[in-house]
Structure 1
Amino acid sequence: MGSAPRNTARITVLADRALAHDARAQRVALAAAGAGYRVTLLGRADDGPVPRLPGVDIRTVPVAETLHRHRMRRPRPGLRWPLAYRSEEAFLCSRDRIVVRSLLLETRAAELGIEYRPFPRHTVARAVHTVARARLSFRRAWTAVRSAQFRAAVRHRTAPDGLLDNASTALTRLLLARRAWRRLDPLLLDLEAAYGPVLDGQRPDLVHARGHRTLGVAVRAALRAEAAGRAVKVVWDADECAAVPSTPSRRAAAARDADERAHAAEADAVVAVSEAYAERLRACHRLPAAPVVVLNAPFFDAGSARRGGGVREACGIGPEVPLLVHSGAVSPERGLLTVVEALPKLYDLHAAFVVPHSDASYVHTLIERAAELGVASRLHVLPYVPPGDVPGFLASADIGVVPVHHLPHHEVTLAARYLEYAHARLPVVVSDVRAMAAATLELGNGEVFRARDTADFVRAVGAVLTNERRYRKAYERSDTLRHWSWQVQSVPLLDVYARLLGTRR
């Protein structure tokens, strides 16, 4: 395939997320723009703010998820839920009819109690109203049963792990092989419908595909471009932490495996977030070359360790109050329940969770648990800040925590929030997952505790608070922060671009 001059090469960074929440996509786009390429950052449209990046054209595309949501809107009741509504529309209509009918009967009862009528007519009207209320009670009960079965069927569709589901998944993989992703994960087809025409219209020279769901979209766009006489290179950024579901169903795991097997070998280059994951990708997909390792690191800023304001001010607490912080999405396997349950044993310590969506269901679960333990006033839920501001925002805390559980993708990578804590010069408390525990013990910037062990977490936090200065000094004793910086980590990525596009670095 051909090459493009450096000053005219067009790169599209394709992300399957809202761009305001995808720090890595923003950093990739900035690095490419800084190297002189014409860069477009393409991601999902949402209600949040669109980031502004110098030298980068930002485009958002609405993803309707029509095919994906069809499974939820029209679940198959089967033998387990024979009374379930056959569609979401039927479910909503029946529910609303009950509400409206109930209000109308209440209005009728009020009318009968206010308006004067002759005794015979009043008696008949009362009898008719009583029958109508009885019918409503029966209908309400019947609707409740059908609604409960519909919701159960929808939940089952969300996590299809029954015996028949697994058998169907196995049969689909057997019959369709690498094409099984089309059947097992309709969201991939929704993304093709949303992003495919946009990529064709942009005519990029290189597509940087963030995560596994954008890989197939980029590969198919490159094939269409080749058929039209244009060369489009594809770089697959296999960011495992962002792409792997915490508790994937067998169907989701099979869909991802089939999708990657169908498209991974077609990428011109692969980028991974850790050495261990890079080796696993190469072995699994028989890649001709080892993926390039690029940590998901923030920009190095010598001033990011400022101590005033930031998260402490957002929590409304003074400098004398001990404060630990967790930055990132929340889910059960991230271990934040361990943090909440440790608060009663940590006396006046406060905890701040900086989250992308404060109304997420698991956030409410954590808040309710804190209220049960009597520590709700010491738990603060804060919104995200722009990626470039994260280290400075976190720097006023005393500890950064990564209490994740033992899962394959937690074992092999340095999480982005771990690197952000480091750039904020925060002592860290991390669970004993392999990569982060090893880095912490080697650098001496924090303590390691046994995952899911609240008592050991309390011990680790107490040890850091007792000698916080010692752990902060660990960052001054080495050049680790410069190595863990986007300025350094982006160099091999830009070398990949230069090699594929035939440009000079």
Structure 2
Amino acid sequence: MAGTLRGSARVAVVSGGVLDSDSRALRVAAAARAAGYEVTLIGRAPATAVPEGVAVRRVSVADVIGSHRRVRPRPGLRWPLAYRSAEAYTHRTTLIEARRALLATRGAELALVHRPLPLRAMARCGYAMDWMRHGVRAAWTGARAAQHRAAVHRRERPDARLDNVVTELARLLLGRRAWRVLEPGLLDEEVAYGPVLESVRPHLIHALGHRTLGVAIRAALRSEAAGHRIEVVWDAPPQVPAASRRSTVAADAHARTFAAEADAVVTVGDRLAHELRARHGLSATPTVCRNAPPLTAAPSRPGGVRTVCHLSEDTPLLVHIGKLLPDRGPATVIEALPKLYDLHAAFVVPDADDPYLAELRDRAAQLGVHARLHVLPYVPVDEIAGFLSSADIGVLPVHQLPHHQAVLASRYFEYAHARLPVVVSDVRAMAAATLELGNGEVFRAGDTADFVRAVGAVLTNPKRYRKAYDRDDVLRQWSWQTESAPLLDLYARLLGPRH
């Protein structure tokens, strides 16, 4: 959109997740605002740590289209008796419970109220008949309810062979349009985000992730038809394996549909940039902008995570930040605690009620180390480095999977800015960076004994590893001030000259 003055250009940063936990969205919005753009941050609530001067539009995505398959599962041949909707299932099962309560009340009444013998005998016979009818109804409802739950479970986890066959047929017959059949929930986001983007009327949309990419492209097409040009920048993260083949194919089809329509693509690593260009046939290699924290003064060690855990300065403490997933290796930390004696582990997580976290806590209890496991909530993005700095080690025990190999994780940069020695698994990007800089130890992914060795090596001489951050101005290279420069140059090329 050549000729637009930066002072009048409006930028919409669109996040598909919760704004408070989306550090990338918050940093992009802050950088654009500091560069003089009028910035609106769009995403899901809560949004309490928004950069100064950035407008916020909170959206609520109603899971209507996406949940239709789950709340109204088709009975089909596998579940012929299943209820056809969640409403029918809830109504019938609740009605059975209510009738059981009424019958129990009737039995209590017969036991308490005095009646002549003939009347009492007749009442008892009627009561027994009512229980027989109720037993038949309850059995029938129970059978239908069990099939309904099985159908819903299969809809939630479509990973059976038949589901995979249907997925492959959709991919072959529909190609890039397969996402409409396989992941209709993407249209729920269109309904939520589309009207907000139309009311903001931005000159540029920065779409984070593939789910918001389609929303941005469609909004730009509608706007251009109305005479208002919108540039779209797609911020593409590493491709994380989905829960099922159906979700994987849907995500790939959706990205392929809209990736080439974006005016520019941004990503978080050089290798990933080349992979994106080859996969989507992009005309140019995506701009690389890693999600590093802003450079600040060295954080002070007292307080922070150590204070929240109520630990003294001489108690060794390692920290893991981020959502807990099996492929991120938190189980390795739990299994190692019995062999690390007085070491404590703090998991800083977005959701303390995560079912997988409950499994980890149970395992810690079985091993007798639950008292040394601490679960803490997220802190604001701009406070992460200071919060973590009082720990002794930052860990990244991720497994050997493709999406871990290509880029340095955001958590790695957070640990670096907290001046923490790191213990990382031997995935390509992190292992190479750690061995080159000397800021930590590398262990074999999934190997508890080797993890124990690496942690012990760091605890023996932590100052040696912390000194690595004082060399070669490494933290300035890994700072948002440095990483955001190519992004702002890209904005300037798309939106026109500086005012």
Q: Secondary structure at the match of 1:14?
A: strand
Q: Which runs of 5+ in 2 are unaligned?
A: none
- Distance change (3 Å), C-alpha of 1:343 and 1:123: farther
Structural mapping, 1:403-422, within 5 Å: 403-422=397-416
In structure 2, the residue corresponding to 1:11 is in which secondary structure?
strand
Name the CA shift for 1:150/1:372 in 2 (closer, same or farther; >3 Å).
Answer: farther
Aligned match of 1:34: 34
SS in structure 1 at match of 2:7: coil
Map of 1:25-424 to 2, 5 A cutoff?
25-45=25-45, 48-240=46-238, 244-304=239-299, 306-424=300-418
Aligned with 1:157: secondary structure?
Answer: helix
Q: 1:401: Cα distance to partner?
A: 0.9
After the TM superposition, which residues 407-446 of structure 1 pair with which residues of structure 2 at under 5 Å, given as runs? 407-446=401-440
Say if 2:481 is the partner of 1:481.
no
1:269-305 deviation line (CA, Å, top 9, x unaligned): 100111111010001111111101111111111232x
Aligned counterparts of 1:191 and 1:103: Cα–Cα separation in 2: 43
Q: State the one-letter code of the partner of 1:191.
A: E
Moved more, 475-484 or 8-17: 475-484
> How far 1:257 moved relative to its partner?
1.5
CA distance in structure 1 between the partners assigned to 2:492 and 2:42 by the alignment: 21
Are 1:246 and 1:333, in contact at CA under 8 Å, matched by a contact in 2?
no
Contact 2:26 2:50 in 1 (8 A): no
1:447 pairs with one of 441, 448, 461: 441
Q: Cα deviations across residues 297-326 of structure 1 (Å, max 9, x unaligned)?
A: 11111232x111111111122222211111
Name the amino acid aligned to 1:418.
Y
Between the aligned partners of 1:340 and 1:141, the Cα distance in structure 2 is 44
Partner of 1:30: helix, strand, or coil? helix
Matched to 1:313, the amino acid is T
Counterpart of 2:22, as a letter, is D
SS in 1 for 2:260: helix
SS at match of 1:66: coil
Q: In the alignment, which residue of structure 2 is the partner of 1:17?
A: 17
How far does residue 406 in structure 1 lie from its aligned partner after superposition?
A: 1.7
AA aligned opposite 2:465? Y
CA pair 127-325 structure 1, distance change in 2 beyond 3 A? farther
- By how many angstroms is 1:49 displaced? 4.7
Query: Using the alignment, how far apart are the partners of 1:275 and 1:288 within structure 2?
Result: 16
> C-alpha offsets along residues 363-414 of structure 1, whole Å, 9 cap, x if unaligned?
1111111122222111111111111111111111111111111221111111
Q: Are 1:35 and 1:494, in contact at CA under 8 Å, matched by a contact in 2? A: yes
Which residue of 2 is the match for residue 7 of structure 1? Answer: 7
Structure 1 counterpart SS, 2:66: helix
Provide closer, same or farther for how the CA distance between residues 246 and 120 of structure 1 changes in structure 2, counting only shifts above 3 A.
farther
Query: 1:303–1:457: structure 2 CA closer, same or farther, 3 Å change rule?
Result: same
Offset at 1:126? 3.4
SS in 2 for 1:263: helix
What is the rounded CA distance, in whole Å, between the counterparts of 2:136 and 2:420 in structure 1?
61
Paired residue secondary structure (2:296):
coil
Alpha-carbon distance in 2 for matches of 1:342, 1:412: 27
Shifted more, 25-34 versus 436-445: the winner is 436-445
Following TM superposition, by how much is the alpha carbon of 1:264 offset from its aligned partner in structure 2, in angstroms?
0.8
* 1:490 aligns to 2:488 (yes or no): no
Q: Distance in 2 between matches of 1:123 and 1:406?
A: 73
**1:141-164 CA-partner distances (Å, limit 9, x unpaired):** 444443333222222212222232
- Give the TM-score, by structure 2 length: 0.96
Measure, in 2, the Cα distance between the counterparts of 1:129 and 1:374.
54
Alignment deviations for residues 28-52 of structure 1 (CA, whole Å, 9 cap, x no partner): 000000000000000024xx45333
1:460 shift after superposition:
1.4
Q: Residues 476, 191 of structure 1: CA spacing in aligned structure 2 closer, same or farther, 3 A cutoff?
A: same
Count of residue pairs brought into register by the alignment: 499
Shift of the 365–314 alpha-carbon distance from structure 1 to 2, 3 Å rule, reads: same
User: Is the 2:2–2:494 contact (alpha carbons within 8 Å) kept by the matching residues of 1?
Assistant: no
Cα deviation for residue 92 of structure 1 reads: 1.6
How much has 1:137 moved relative to structure 2?
A: 4.4
Q: Secondary structure at the match of 1:474?
A: helix
After superposing the two structures, state which structure 1 stretch, 147-156 or 396-405, moved more.
147-156
TM-score (norm. length: structure 1):
0.95
The answer (yes or no) to whether the contact 1:2–1:231 under 8 Å persists in 2 is no
Summarize the Cα distance change of 1:176–1:477 in structure 2 as closer, same or farther, 3 Å threshold: same
Between the aligned partners of 1:100 and 1:67, the Cα distance in structure 2 is 32
Which moves more between the two structures, 451-460 or 437-446?
451-460
Aligned-pair distance for 1:138? 4.6
- Report how far residue 356 of structure 1 moved: 0.7
Write the distance in 2 (CA, Å) between the matches of 1:436 and 1:141. 57
| Structure 1, 18-27 or 447-456: larger mean CA deviation | 447-456
For 1:384, give the aligned amino acid: Y
- SS of 1:124's partner is helix
Q: Which string of whole-angstrom CA distances, capped at 9 and with x for unpartnered residues, describes residues 195-222 of structure 1?
A: 1121112111000000011111111111
Q: Distance in 2 between matches of 1:467 and 1:350?
A: 18
- Deviations, residues 177-200 of structure 1 (Å, cap 9, x unaligned): 222221211121111111112111
Q: Identify if the C-alpha distance between structure 1 residues 189 and 123 changes in structure 2 by more than 3 Å, giving closer, same or farther.
A: same
In 2, Cα distance between equivalents of 1:318 and 1:136: 63
Amino acid at match of 2:327: E
How far 1:105 sits from its partner (Å)? 2.8
Q: Contact between 1:449 and 1:456, CA under 8 Å: does it hold in 2?
A: yes
Task: Name which structure has the greater RCO, CA cutoff 8 Å, separation 6+.
Answer: 2
